[in-house]
Every structure is written in structure tokens, then in C-alpha cells.
Structure 1
Amino acid sequence: METKFYSLEEVAKNDGKGGNRTWIVVKDSVYDVTDYLQQEEEHPGGNELIIEWAGKECTRPFDDAGHSSEAKKEMKQYKIGELREEDRKQKQQKKSGDAAAQAKNKENRRSCCSYLTCGLCD
């Protein structure tokens, strides 16, 4: 079976609102979780969490929630494709930009000789 590729823009349109399907992205894989949300047995953390991240990249919250290996296995059935390479790169650039900003802030804090009293450093 051939892998389908989706853009972040396509994923964003599938936010579960206005009759749209509910898609999420975890680790560059795109999942259609619409049918999962309609099951009688609700998500253990509450369907609201999935709805909150509908149409978005949610790898960090997914990992932070500490999903079991069973949950990860079950999730495979909802996979519909992968994120386009261009959008993966866009995410990586954003991450490295965030990392650069954090490093700069850290550098600025260290350069302040009176960081305990100046009030400008975190």
C-alpha cells in the first residue's frame, strides 16, 4: 500500500469542527481519530484532550501523557498517512529557532554579572 502524504494545512482543516473529520499528527504520522472519538468507550484522559489538539501536531503532549505500548499499538489502526517532508522541515526549523532563542536567553542571563539583583534576568 502506498503512503499518503499530507500538509500541515490539510491537517488543520480536519479539526473536527463543522462536520470535518478529526486528524492529529504524532511523530510525523497523520491519524484520523474521528471513529475513535465516536466509540462508546472514551479516551482514558478524556476526549476533550484529543479535541483540543484536533488538526494539530501533538507529539509533545502525546509523549508527555505517557501512553502505554498498548495504546500506541491501538493507535496504528487510525494512521492514514505521513506529514509531507516540507512540513517536517518547517517543524524542525521552528524547533531549532526556539532552541536558538533559549540558548540566547541563557547566554544573556549568564553574562549579567549581578543577575541576582538586577531584576532583568530570569
Structure 2
Amino acid sequence: MENEIKYFSLEEVAKNDGKNGNKTWIIVKDNVYDVTDYVDDHPGGGELVLEWAGKESTKAFDDAGHSGDAKKELKQYKIGELREEDRKQKQKKKETDKAKEDRRSFCSYLTCGLC
């Protein structure tokens, strides 16, 4: 059953922060990657990877403007996915942010007078 997906908690990922002999794991788009063997080969320098070790790094990864080749290369380091419960925490935050935005839009509508 090599195709069985392994699931990791945020806490498990956080322990793999690349410090004190720990492995170097990152989360990108709910996927968990063990980039321990890649840190020294990263074109931007290993310190950039280590800055996000043990953390959710999707925004940083996307903001860096990685090429399609870099995204393909990342796939070989995938060891599993973030467990559903931890994904929901992020989803709840997104829903909360959306609700705040909706309230602002509604308040703008009420105070505008031109709508």
C-alpha cells in the first residue's frame, strides 16, 4: 500500500523545524514536504527554506514566484498531507475573514447613500 496517504498534524510538522538535528518539513497548499535533503541545494539559499521549516509556507512559496519547474521538483519531496482537522482551522479563519469583509461591505452600502 505505497499509495496510501499519510496525514500529519500541525504539531508534528512544527517539530520538524530543521533545528537540533530535526528534519526540515514545510507545508505548501496542505501538502507536507520533507525538504531536508534539498535545503543546501535551494537556489535562493538554505536559510530561506529554514525560515519556513515546520510551518505553513504556501504564501511565502507563492510570493517567491517559483517557476513551474520548481513546483514540479517540490512534488518529489511530498511525504503526506495536513490532516483535515488542521485544514479546517485555516478554513474557519478564512470564513471569519470573509464574514468581516461582508460586514464592511454592508456597512459601506448603508453609509454610502448613493447605492
Alignment TM-score, normalising by the size of structure 1: 0.78
Q: Corresponding residue for 1:30?
A: 32
Contact 2:18–2:36 (Cα < 8 Å) also in 1: yes
Superposed, which structure 2 residues align to 1:51-70 within 5 Å? 51-70=50-69
Superposed, which structure 2 residues align to 1:45-84 within 5 Å? 45-84=44-83
Q: Corresponding residue for 1:18?
A: 20
Q: Corresponding residue for 1:119?
A: none
> RMSD across aligned C-alpha pairs, in angstroms?
1.9
% identity of equivalent residues:
67
CA apart distance, 1:81:
0.4
User: Which digits, 9 at most, give the CA deviation of each residue in 1:37-79, with x for residues without a partner?
Assistant: 14xx3x2222222111110111111111111111111111111
CA apart distance, 1:98:
2.8
Alignment TM-score, normalising by the size of structure 2: 0.82
Structure 2 unaligned blocks of 5 or more:
none
Q: 1:32 to 1:105 in 2, by over 3 A?
A: same
Question: How many residue pairs were aligned?
Answer: 110
Structure 1 segments, 4+ long, off by >6 Å, are: 109-113
Q: Distance in 2 between matches of 1:46 and 1:97?
A: 36
Matched residue SS, 2:23:
coil
Contact 2:39–2:45 (Cα < 8 Å) also in 1: no
